[in-house]
Amino acid sequence: MTEADHDKTTHFGFREVREVEKHHLVGDVFSSVADKYDLMNDLMSFGVHRAWKRFAVALSGVRCGERVLDVAAGSGDLARLFARRVGGSGEVYVTDINAAMLARARQRLTDAGVVGNVVYVQADAERLPFRDNYFGCVSIGFGLRNVTRRRSALRSMYRCLRPGGRVIILEFSRPTSRLLGKLYDAYSFAVLPRLGAVVAKDAPSYSYLVESIRKHPAQAKLRRMMEDAGFERVDFYNLSGGVVAVHTGFKF
């Protein structure tokens, strides 16, 4: 790493930090929230995150026998759905840069009986340790906004995808109506950190998560970033009025 690289900055929520610091700061957040991660997801979204994830996996078109890579897999919700689709003849690679979250995913999937067709790898989304053209589908759910260099992560996912394969990006986005945006902001900034303080005993981490959503590129900008990374036929689908969007793209 050059001195210039060391001095590059990026955002950590609304704070400006050096790029080399963000990896550790995000790691601290997810190590802190891992135990209450699933409960908080249910409470924050009123359980709707499960429908968002089912929609994203349905868009993937993944079939029995395919090989899927789930990047920044969190506690494994997408991986669990993919594992059912690929069956015993397929494989789902569950990756996360955070050891605590990866352990959480392994525990949850094992407890649910999802074994035999799942591989766990601690990996950085920006430098995925897999060979070129290896996966029929690459997904990332609610993880791209936490990556330090999104463009590097998109290029890394593109490299791992086989020709004809599809990428699925599920992420918080921008509400499509001004009224919904105002209501969403009020809920996010007033309620979520307090909920994090009560349930997870960690208000700062949930303040960061709210801020990271606001710093994430809007739908059209993310589409352009995906195209710049090489993906073709990029499209997006707004869910819950644009609070969440699923972006899809292909490698040809």
User: By residue range, what is the domain housing residue 78?
Assistant: 3-176+206-250
- What is the predicted pLDDT for the residue at 20? 86
- Is 191 part of any domain? no
Q: What is the CATH number of the domain that holds 132?
A: 3.40.50.150
- What is the predicted pLDDT for the residue at 6? 56
CB atoms within 10 A of CB 178: 8
- What is the predicted pLDDT for the residue at 3? 47
CA torsion through residues 125, 128, 132, 137, sign: negative
- Is 194 part of any domain? no
- In the chain, count H helices and then E strands: 11, 9
- Give the distance from CA 44 to its chain's centroid: 16
- What is the predicted pLDDT for the residue at 184? 96
- Is 81 part of any domain? yes
- Is 112 part of any domain? yes
Tokens of 194: 């307090």
Half-sphere exposure of 150 (CA within 13 A, CB side): 22
- What is the predicted pLDDT for the residue at 108? 97
Look at the chain and report how many structural domains it folds into: 1
Phi, psi of 69 (to 5 degrees): -115, 120
- What is the predicted pLDDT for the residue at 5? 56
Beta-bridged to residue 161, according to DSSP, are 135
SS3 content of the chain, % helix, strand, coil (to 5): 50, 25, 25
- Is 245 part of any domain? yes
- Is 199 part of any domain? no
Residue spans of the chain under pLDDT 50 = 1, 3
- Is 84 part of any domain? yes
- Is 77 part of any domain? yes
- Write the DSSP string, 175-206: -SSHHHHHHHHHHHHHTHHHHIIIIIS-HHHH
